[in-house]
């Protein structure tokens, strides 16, 4: 199903995702990566055999909706830069690799497959930010019990360069048309825990503009 994006607040872009890849453990600082691995190990999640790694999930999981539905209250969001390869070029959005943490302890790929992947409707051209990519600021807020907390914050430069990720995944510098790649996340500033809503943001301090997306998490009633 095609998604309707808006580029730089000016023009519409109809995009049908054909491939959705989640890049993991993409930090440039291996010490920080190891801390994040240890952070998840406390939840019973086994460390990866190599870093970075790439998880392919159903392209239909990509959504610009403002609400997602899940069967259990075991999931969390996390901010990521998102690359979108359209027919006329490469674009950047901000998204959330929402993941079921309980299932992640058993099967990481399955845990990612179980949750929708929210992304902003607003996009930027990658070429407009490529020259100052490292200065982009990623943030995530978690909302629960009426409180809004800063959950993650850091520069995109703390992660591997997106073109490096594309080359490692595809063996070349080009992301195939219809492909979407989530580029990895930051350490959490708070203990990893579910929320009633998450808000992700990508701020460009050079061009003074911001992409953002807020979505709520609806936990469905499940028979015991």
pLDDT for 97-120, tens place per residue?
999 888 877 888 888 888 999 999
Task: Write out the H or E segment, with its range, that includes residue 8.
Answer: none
Mean per-residue pLDDT, 132-149 = 96
Q: How many CB atoms lie within 10 A of CB 50?
A: 7
Q: How many CB atoms lie within 10 A of CB 176?
A: 11
Residue pair 21/54 in contact (Cβ under 8 Å)? The answer is yes
Please report the beta strands in 52-186, taking only residues with DSSP state E, as ranges in sequence order.
53-57, 62-63, 67-70, 75-76, 79-86, 89-96, 99-100, 117-118, 122-125, 137-144, 147-155, 179-182
Please give the domain boundaries of the chain with CATH numbers for all domains.
3-7+14-219 (3.90.850.10)
Residue 20 and residue 60: Cα distance in Å, rounded? 8
**% of residues, the chain, pLDDT over 70:** 98
Specify the pLDDT at position 178: 98
Specify the pLDDT at position 172: 80
Of 145, 147, 136, 139, the C-alpha closest to 187 is: 139
Distances (CA, A) of 207 to 96, 119, 129, 152: 23, 21, 9, 22
Distances (CA, A) of 98 to 61, 69, 114, 119, 207: 10, 11, 9, 11, 28
Specify the pLDDT at position 10: 86
Specify the pLDDT at position 223: 66
Q: Which residues pair with 5 in a beta bridge?
A: 13
Task: Write out the H or E segment, with its range, that includes residue 28.
Answer: none
Specify the pLDDT at position 224: 61
For the stretch 22-38, pLDDT in tens is 998 898 887 877 777 77
Please report where in the chains the tokens 């730089």 appear, as a residue: 8
């Amino acid at each position: 199903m095609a998604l309707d994006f808006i580029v730089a607040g000016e023009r519409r872009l109809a995009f049908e995702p054909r491939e959705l890849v989640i890049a993991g453990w993409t930090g440039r600082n291996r010490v920080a990566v190891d801390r994040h691995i240890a952070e998840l190990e406390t939840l019973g999640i086994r460390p990866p055999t190599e870093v970075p790694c790439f998880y392919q999930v159903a392209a239909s999981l990509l959504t610009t909706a403002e609400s997602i539905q899940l069967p259990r209250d075991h999931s969390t969001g996390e901010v990521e830069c998102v690359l979108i390869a359209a027919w006329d070029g490469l674009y950047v959005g901000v998204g959330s690799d929402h993941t079921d943490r309980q299932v992640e302890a058993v099967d990481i790929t399955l845990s990612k497959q179980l949750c929708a992947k929210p992304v902003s409707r607003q996009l930027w051209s990658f070429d407009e930010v490529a020259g100052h990519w490292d200065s982009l600021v990623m943030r995530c807020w978690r909302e629960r019990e009426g409180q809004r907390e800063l959950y993650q914050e850091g520069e995109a430069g703390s992660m591997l360069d997106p073109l490096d990720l594309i080359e490692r995944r595809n063996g070349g510098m080009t992301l195939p048309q219809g492909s979407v790649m989530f580029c990895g996340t930051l350490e959490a500033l708070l203990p990893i825990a579910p929320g009633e809503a998450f808000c992700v943001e990508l701020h460009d301090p050079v061009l003074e503009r911001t992409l953002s997306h807020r979505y709520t998490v609806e936990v469905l009633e499940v028979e015991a």
